């Protein structure tokens, strides 16, 4: 009986969905896609995940950071810090085009634009902002330096390896405690979770054992079960898989940057 009931419910839902579909489609068709300047790294994935979660039409433009495309004047005009990700939204405020760089600012912009994954009420927003900025100023930079000293530095220097590996360990401990009594960092699923997932998904590369953090492990599994997160994490760029981080030319581009 319950089965038959849920079947007919499911049927009417499908009908409703089918009716609603064309309206959504035509809107998506008429909207100019957001341009996503991207390379497949934890910072890039934050934005591919958010665009996928919001079902926003977008066009991915690879920025090959291993050959120096981040220094092209056309890219610096939208991202003066010579870092990806960046976006250009042709349908920005007032119907005019806008560019945004810094992944945290992009997430907030897309959250405000869509009203999704970023609450409008002040208390909810403060919850999200705290954890978003915690990622931007803490987890991201520390995990980035951990990757550098563990995997890319020409010499194995124990002091920086320990310093950054320990700091990562401390930060994942903070995250684990936060997730002990709530499903997501800000309570509900938000841009703060999207900011962290790409880094946490590479925790083993940061010399960490996920089993030390059971709540973080549950959170990571929950996020990775979301189809939009999967699509965002797997937004591929063919050339990226061919980059050799030991190639002196690549290293000269990435690891020798000074003021221009
Ligand atoms: N704070 C920036 C960091 C972005 C960042 O570090 N991007 C790296 C890749 S993960 C990049 O573009 N690197 C290019 C370079 O080092 O020249 C953000 O969150 O958007």
CATH code of residue 108: 3.40.30.10
One domain, residues 127 and 40: no
Q: For residue range 136-169, list pLDDT tens digits in order.
A: 999 999 999 999 999 999 999 999 999 999 999 9
Calculate the CA dihedral of residues 194, 182, 166, 221 and round it to 10 degrees.
-60
One domain, residues 142 and 197: yes
What is the domain range of residue 89?
13-18+23-116+235-254
One domain, residues 132 and 111: no
One domain, residues 239 and 112: yes
- Residue 19's pLDDT band, with cuts at 50, 70 and 90, is very low
In a domain, 89, yes or no: yes
| Backbone region of residue 98 per phi and psi (left: phi > 0; alpha: psi in -120 to 50; beta: other values) | beta
Dist. CA 174–CA 37, nearest whole Å: 31
Cβ–ligand 1 distance for 178 under 6 Å, the answer no
CATH number of the structural domain spanning residue 181:
1.20.1050.10
One domain, residues 145 and 175: yes
In a domain, 56, yes or no: yes
Checking if the pLDDT of 218 tops 90, the result is yes
One domain, residues 139 and 217: yes
158-178 helix and 140-147 helix, angle to the nearest 10 degrees: 140
| Number of domain units in the chain | 2
Dist. CA 195–CA 107, nearest whole Å: 8
Q: Ligand 1 centroid vs 208 CA: distance in angstroms?
A: 22
Cβ–ligand 1 distance for 106 under 6 Å, the answer no
Q: In 10 A of CB 38, how many CB atoms?
A: 24
Q: Ligand 1 centroid vs 84 CA: distance in angstroms?
A: 5
Q: For residue range 228-254, list pLDDT tens digits in order.
A: 999 999 999 999 999 999 999 999 999
Q: For residue range 123-138, list pLDDT tens digits in order.
A: 999 999 999 999 999 9
Nearest CA to ligand 1 atom 12: 83
One domain, residues 243 and 157: no
One domain, residues 203 and 188: yes
In a domain, 5, yes or no: no
Q: For residue range 179-200, list pLDDT tens digits in order.
A: 999 999 999 999 999 999 999 9
Report residue 112 CA to chain centroid gap. Answer: 16
Range from 17-26, 27-36, 62-71, 182-191 carrying the lowest mean pLDDT: 17-26
Dist. CA 65–CA 84, nearest whole Å: 8
Contacts of 86 (CB under 8 A, 6+ apart): 37, 75, 78, 79, 99, 100, 101, 106
């Amino acid at each position: 009986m319950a089965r038959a009931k849920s079947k007919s419910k499911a049927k009417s839902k499908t009908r409703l969905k089918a009716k609603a579909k064309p309206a959504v489609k035509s809107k998506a068709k008429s909207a100019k896609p957001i341009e996503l300047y991207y390379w497949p790294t934890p910072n890039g994935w934050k934005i591919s995940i958010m665009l996928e979660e919001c079902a926003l039409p977008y066009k991915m433009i690879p920025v090959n950071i291993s050959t120096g495309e981040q220094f092209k004047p056309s890219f610096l005009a939208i991202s003066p810090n010579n870092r990806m990700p960046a976006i250009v939204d042709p349908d920005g405020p007032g119907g005019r085009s806008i560019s945004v760089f810094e992944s945290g600012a992009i997430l907030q912009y897309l959250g405000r634009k869509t009203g999704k994954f970023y609450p409008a009420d002040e208390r909810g927003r403060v919850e999200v902002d705290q954890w978003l900025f915690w990622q931007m100023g803490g987890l991201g930079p520390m995990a980035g330096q951990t990757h550098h000293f563990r995997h890319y530095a020409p010499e194995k220097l124990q002091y920086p390896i320990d310093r950054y590996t320990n700091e990562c360990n401390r930060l994942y401990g903070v995250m684990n405690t936060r997730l002990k009594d709530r499903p997501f960092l800000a309570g509900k699923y938000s841009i703060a979770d999207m900011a962290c997932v790409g880094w946490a998904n590479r925790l083993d590369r940061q010399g960490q054992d996920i089993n030390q953090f059971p709540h973080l492990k549950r959170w990571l599994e929950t996020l990775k079960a979301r189809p939009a997160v999967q699509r965002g994490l797997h937004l591929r760029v063919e050339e990226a898989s061919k980059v050799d981080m030991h190639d002196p030319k690549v290293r000269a581009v990435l690891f020798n940057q000074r003021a221009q």
